[in-house]
Every structure is written in C-alpha cells, then in structure tokens.
Amino acid sequence: MAPQRDPAELFPDIAERGGLAAALRAEAEQAGPSLPVTALPGDPDPMTGAAVASRLPHRAPLRVTASTWEREWWIRGTDTAQGTPLVEGCAREFDQLMRAARAWHEGASLSDIRRAAPFVRLTDRFEVPDGDPVLLAESEWRGLRNEARTVVVPGYRPLVEEAYVQPALRALYPFRMGWTLCFSTTTRPGLNPTGPRLSSYDGDEYTVSAELAGGGVLAVTATAREAVAAAVRHLPSGLGPVTSGASGSYF
C-alpha cells in the first residue's frame, strides 16, 4: 500500500480555500445556490471531512471523506432512521463530487443522483420517509441481496437468497455479523435478534446456530437450502410483524 500523504500536498486547491467544507461551499456559490456544508463530526482535520445537509428530513447529511493516499473523495449517504447507506462512491473529480452533493441536498431521487454523478453506487436500499418498519425490513433485504452479489465469500450469497424466498424469514429484519446471516424482530438502530444464525466458512458446509457467537449448533448441512429449512423449523412461534427498533441492543 502506498504511504499516506499530507492532505495539503494532495489537495493544494482545497487547502487554499481553507478546507474541504469551505471549498464545497465556495464551489457551490460559484455554480448556483449555496450548499449547507459543515465540518464532518468527529474529524478534526478540515482538509479531510465535510457533511452536506439534505432538504429531506429522512436523509442524514452526506458524509464526504478525502483520501490520504490519492486525490479522491469518498461519499456515504444514509437515512436518519437507521444510519444504513443508500448511496456510496468514490469521486476522483471535484465537479463530480459537487454534483452528487447538490443532488443529495436538493432531494433528487437516488437514481437521479446516480445519473447526475455516475461514480455514485446505489446500495439497492430504498428510502422510507415515514420510517415504516416493515418497509425498512424490505429495504434491508434488498441491500443485503445486492451486497451478496458482489462479495466473494463462499456460501454467503446462497444463504441470503434461500432465506429471502422463505416467507417466515423474509418477514424478519435481516442483518449480518461478519458474514453470518442473522434476523431481528426490530429494525436498526436497536436490534432484537431472534431465531437461528446461518453461516458457511467454505461454501461446502452450512451451520445453523442458536447464538450470535456461533455456539449452540442446531444443524450442519450440505446445502444452503437445507440450512435455511432448518432455521425455519427452529424459529420461535408467535412472531409478529417487524417493529421499530428505537432502542435496545446495537450491532
């Protein structure tokens, strides 16, 4: 890995303007209406972090983080209900970064943000302005399935896909710890884990466990489908619709 570099060396134009937030504000004013840009909370270096507020109350401020290795900026846009990412990406051109920031602020749809700034990657989650927990669970399933298509983790994608087609599991809120698929009766941020956990270390063997840490093995199977079927058999009875996780355990 290349050594870290001085941000002022990587971004001399940003340094001249007093930091990333100041540069974003100045650039916005030259191109059109101003943008509400502040320093990134928790980042003491004005060169490396900024946050762009949105007009939409269900969107958290867009996080912008400058690389310390190359001239590029990472973005992450989340919802306020859970803090889960809706858009991500790495911009190598400042004007592209500005387009994404303005679109996020002005409330453009997620697909329109992607069209305005092609570097943006959609996580496949959809926005739930009213925080409906059932819709948040559906959105999270979409996000996990999208992620599973791109990661190279043996056995993980089959577990996610097989679990999704089971109505009893699809009705729960999915989350992962490492690459173990878990379920909750509540949404983030306060999860209430319930039922078995599903994992596979090599894609040749699948484990159904009763505990988050992997203890209490309930079944070991040769296929993801068999593992998911075993998990359904071990679900607690009487589970109702997913509810909002305003407080509780955090994962």
Quick: pLDDT tens for 132-157.
999 999 999 999 999 999 998 999 99
Confirm whether 63 is domain-assigned: yes
Show contacts of 36-44: CB within 8 Å, 24+ apart: 36/105, 37/101, 40/64, 40/65
**What end-to-end distance do the CA atoms of the chain give, in Å?**
30
Residue at which a domain ends, from 122, 145, 178: 122
Q: Are 110 and 13 contained in the same domain?
A: yes
CB-CB contact of 25 with 34 (8 Å): yes
Residues 72, 19 share a domain: yes
Asked whether residue 122 carries a pLDDT value surpassing 70, the answer given is yes
**Alpha carbons within 13 A on the beta-carbon side of 230:** 21
What element of type H or E holds 167?
helix 167-170
Q: Which domain holds residue 71?
A: 7-122
Task: Give the model confidence (pLDDT) of 202-248 as tens digits.
Answer: 888 999 999 776 679 999 999 999 999 999 999 999 998 999 997 54
In a domain, 249, yes or no: no
Final residue of a structural domain among 122, 148, 171: 122
Number of domains making up the chain = 2
Mean pLDDT across 5-13: 91
For residue 5, pLDDT over 90 is answered with no
**pLDDT tens profile 77-87:** 999 999 999 99
Do 117 and 140 share a domain, yes or no? no
85/145 same-domain check: no
Tell me, yes or no, whether 178 and 113 share the same domain.
Answer: no
Same domain, yes or no: 13 and 118: yes
pLDDT of residue 247: 57
At 81, list the tokens: 């209900």
| Residue 62 resides in a domain | yes
One domain, residues 174 and 224:
yes
Same domain, residue pair 111 and 137: no
- Are residue 12 and residue 37 in the same domain, yes or no? yes
**Banded pLDDT at 44 (limits 50, 70, 90):** confident
Structure tokens at 243: 């509810």
Same domain, 91 and 174: no
Per-residue tokens: 230: 């075993």
In this structure, is residue 240 part of a structural domain?
no
Nearest CA to 20 out of 42, 47, 55 is that of 47
- Closest C-alpha among 9, 11, 242 to residue 133: 242
Enter the pTM of the model: 0.90
The answer on 34 and 59 residing in a single domain is yes
The pLDDT-based confidence of 42 (bands split at 50, 70, 90) is confident
The two tokens of residue 174 are: 């999915």
2 occurs within a structural domain: no
Check residue 250 and give its pLDDT: 47
H-type alpha helices, 17-93: 20-31
Question: At residue 198, does pLDDT exceed 50?
Answer: yes
Clarify whether residues 114 and 40 are in a common domain.
Answer: yes
Please check whether residue 75 lies inside any domain of the structure. yes
For residue 87, the Cα-to-chain-centroid distance in whole angstroms is 8
| Cβ neighbours for 17, distance < 8 A, ≥ 6 positions apart | 23, 26
Higher-confidence residue: 250 or 199? Answer: 199
Residue 1: per-residue pLDDT: 56
b/e for 176-198, b at 16 or more Cβ within 10 A? beebbbbbbbbbbbbbbbebbbb
Which residue did the predictor score with more confidence, 154 or 31?
Answer: 154
Give a yes or no: residue 148 inside a domain.
Answer: yes
Cis bond leading into 189, ω under 30°? yes
How much is the average pLDDT of 100-107? 98
Mean pLDDT of the chain: 93
Report yes or no on 61 lying in a domain. Answer: yes
Per-residue tokens: 204: 């040749």
Last residue of a domain, one of 90, 122, 154: 122
174 pLDDT more than 60: yes
DSSP code, position 217: E
